[in-house]
A and B are shown apart, each in its own frame.
Chain A
Amino acid sequence: MPSVAMRPYLAIARISWRSALAYRIPFVLSLCMMVFNLLAMLSLWRVLLASGHPLAGFTWPEMRAYLLVSFVTGCLVSSFTDFTMAFRIQSGLVALDLTQPVHYQRARFAQCLGMTVLESATAAVVCGAALAAFGAIPVPALPQLALFLVSLVAVVPLKFLIVYSSGLLCFWTHNYLGVSFARAAVSAVLSGALVPLVFFPGWLRILAEVLPFQGIASTPALIYLGQASGWDAVRLIGIQLLWIAVLWAGASAAWNAALRRLTIHGG
């Protein structure tokens, strides 16, 4: 029985995935792009690992698992959230969001969760197909699997906050496309979604480990593989949660600052 206070946000989540169904074509196109990416990465690593020698501790089945997990986390929280947000801020439609009896940040998170329902479903389907095509992957034992699931769930708020924070930059930049591309590029590398962090040179690896991005791909993938287990896994999940808390508070403060400089021209 959901509480009364949750009712507005549940309604927002529901209408969000309903409206996502209205955007079938862009949704399918972006999914195709991600599947293409996944296939390219799988093919590339298959060649690199063809000799049978593990690279930096990765065998071919492990690398398959790593890439699949990072594909799943890549599907969650598409840039739909920040693009709609950016559009509403730049066009002035945000004025209407500000007259609704909901917290702006919580409402955007609810919207993102609504989309996640749809994204998880498609990710699951694609994973099934990839497993059939490229062969099975190792499945971790139960306690490790539980840790993995926690870290996977934590990806959603963490990734949302990264995307949402960059969306807020609209108040300062006026052109969002550049910000969005920059964020996507930085996050693709530093999250470990393209190449696991162990392959990075020392300085880049340190940078990746102090920034929040590793939490949206590398952390769940390493926990799934058992490369981070026990306390090590708990520590990585702790870092995810810490970043969620920091970014949530930071984004709230940024939002309040942004409102002071909000300008909406015309009627």
Chain B
Amino acid sequence: MDEPLIRARALTKTFRRPDKGPGLAGSARHLITRKYTEHHAIDGIDLDVAAGEAVAYVGRNGAGKSTTVKLLTGILVPSSGEVRVAGVVPHQDRIANARNIGVVFGQRTQLWWDLPVRETFTLLRDMYRIPPERYRATLARLTEVLDLGPLLPVTGRKLSLGQRMRADLAAALLHEPPIVYLDEPTIGLDIEVKDRVREFLRDLVANGTTVLLTTHDLGDIEDVCRRIVIVDGGRIIHDGPLAAVRDELARERSMHVQPAVPVDLAAIRAALPGTEVSGEPGEFSIRFDRFAYSAGQVAAAVMGLAEIRDFRIDEPGIEDVVRRVYEGGLVESPTGAPA
């Protein structure tokens, strides 16, 4: 009845890494006495995703995001634990699972390198046995939203990264899957293309598709996902509404300032109580809580003391958020996980 569409219980994936000593001697010894280190890429993940939900799955590089997606899509076989997606165990019934899902990997393409994009789409039409009228309608819709018209006759290898991503999104959605996994879909894209992809994903979610999006870029998930799951060291360290994370954990901003002439940092500290000022008189950074100060207020306070030659503002990165999760005591630090 109410079983979630995606359900993982105590999901674990352990890789064995060969433990070789240094140099030729180490390699030779490894041939005789094989030693391995166990590496828990995913260490007991529990995750429920309801139909129609859009979940952001974020974490630092190596946190286990991609491995989780590969377990949910049936690419990898879990070392232990259970996983069910739309009633199917993905790695046991790959073909049934494949029909339910669409997958986009930001760093890999499913386009045929030497053939026009259109040929890849035709292959997918036959592979998923999409009825011709259905295929024509879906392709027409995707061509319009993703502006694929000029790309269809071009071979995969000649596409730019942004064009490739648009074509790959269409390729993953031709069979209109109810579940879509996106693994770092905006990696390496420029701002304009990123925005376009985000807008497309928003529409996808609005139309009822269940989306799981992994990223290490918090900007990706704004407006697309309501719920955020943060992973670190192969475990889920936070799971809740995105708004809360944004307000509680990602409220810190940093303004980096280069004044025209060196200024007294103590004066700036006095002008902006509650902020953290670090650096040199000739180039410094101000960390502030965006609920206590607006960026404009901070800039105005500095300009009252010195002429600004250049400045920029950093949004908090995923590193900051993960650190804040541990600091904020929202969860206990996972034991044994490398910090």
Which residues of A are in contact with B by a Cβ distance under 8 Å? 4, 7-8, 10-12, 15, 18-19, 22-23, 92-93, 95-96, 98-103, 259-260, 262-264, 266-267
Contact = CB atoms under 8 A, between A and B. Distances in A.
B202 interface: no
Contact of B112 (A4, A19, A263): A19
B76 A99 contact: no
B183 interface: yes
A96 B109 CA distance: 8
B98 interface: yes
B145 interface: no
Contact of B108 (A96, A100, A101, A260): A96
B261 interface: no
A19 B95 contact: no
B105 interface: yes
B114 A267 contact: no
Given A23-B114, A267-B105, A260 B77 contact: yes
B74 A267 contact: no
Contact of A22 (B73, B99, B103, B114): B114
A99 B98 contact: yes
Contacts of A95: 70, 75, 105, 108
A103 B58 CA distance: 32
Interface in B58-88: 66, 70, 73-77
Contacts of B91: 259
Nearest to B102: A99
B170 interface: no
B114 A19 contact: yes
Contact of B127 (A11, A18, A92, A263): A11
B168 to A, nearest CB: 10
Contacts, number: 83
Given A11-B122, A96-B110, A264 B127 contact: no
Contacts of B155: 22
Nearest to A11: B126
Contact of B103 (A8, A10, A19, A99): A99
Contacts of B119: 15, 18
B323 interface: no
Interface string B44-70: 000000000000000000000010001
Contact of A7 (B74, B108, B129, B183): B129
B136 to A, nearest CB: 17
A101 B110 CA distance: 14
A96 B102 CA distance: 10
B115 interface: yes
Contacts of A101: 95, 98-99, 127-128
Given A11-B126, A18-B119, A100-B98, 8 more contacts: A15-B123, A22-B155, A96-B110, A98-B94, A101-B99, A102-B127, A262-B76, A267-B106
A98 B128 CA distance: 14
B15 interface: yes
A256 to B, nearest CB: 9
Nearest to B110: A96
Nearest to B76: A262
A263 to B, nearest CB: 5
A22 B115 contact: yes
24 contacts: A7-B126, A8-B127, A8-B129, A10-B126, A11-B126, A11-B127, A18-B115, A18-B119, A19-B115, A22-B115, A92-B108, A95-B105, A96-B108, A96-B110, A99-B73, A99-B74, A101-B98, A101-B99, A101-B127, A101-B128, A102-B95, A103-B95, A267-B66, A267-B184
Contact of A267 (B98, B129, B187): B187
Interface centre among A12, A96, A103, A260 (most CB of B within 10 A): A96
A266 B107 contact: yes
Contacts of B108: 92-93, 95-96, 267
Interface in B219-268: none
Nearest to A15: B123
A92 B106 CA distance: 13
Contact of A264 (B76, B110, B115, B126): B76
A104 B91 CA distance: 13
B167 interface: no
A152 to B, nearest CB: 29
A221 B73 CA distance: 47
A55 B112 CA distance: 51
Nearest to A92: B108
Nearest to B73: A99
Contacts of A103: 95
A96 to B, nearest CB: 5
Nearest to A263: B15
Given A99-B98, A99-B101, A99-B103, A267 B115 contact: no
A95 B72 CA distance: 12
B66 A266 contact: yes
A160 to B, nearest CB: 20
Contacts of A96: 103, 105, 108, 110
A98 B127 contact: no
B297 to A, nearest CB: 39
B259 to A, nearest CB: 41
Q: Which 4 A-B pairs have the closest CB atoms?
A: A11-B126, A22-B114, A101-B98, A267-B107
Nearest to A102: B127
Nearest to B112: A19
A267 B183 contact: yes
Nearest to A94: B75
A109 B251 CA distance: 55
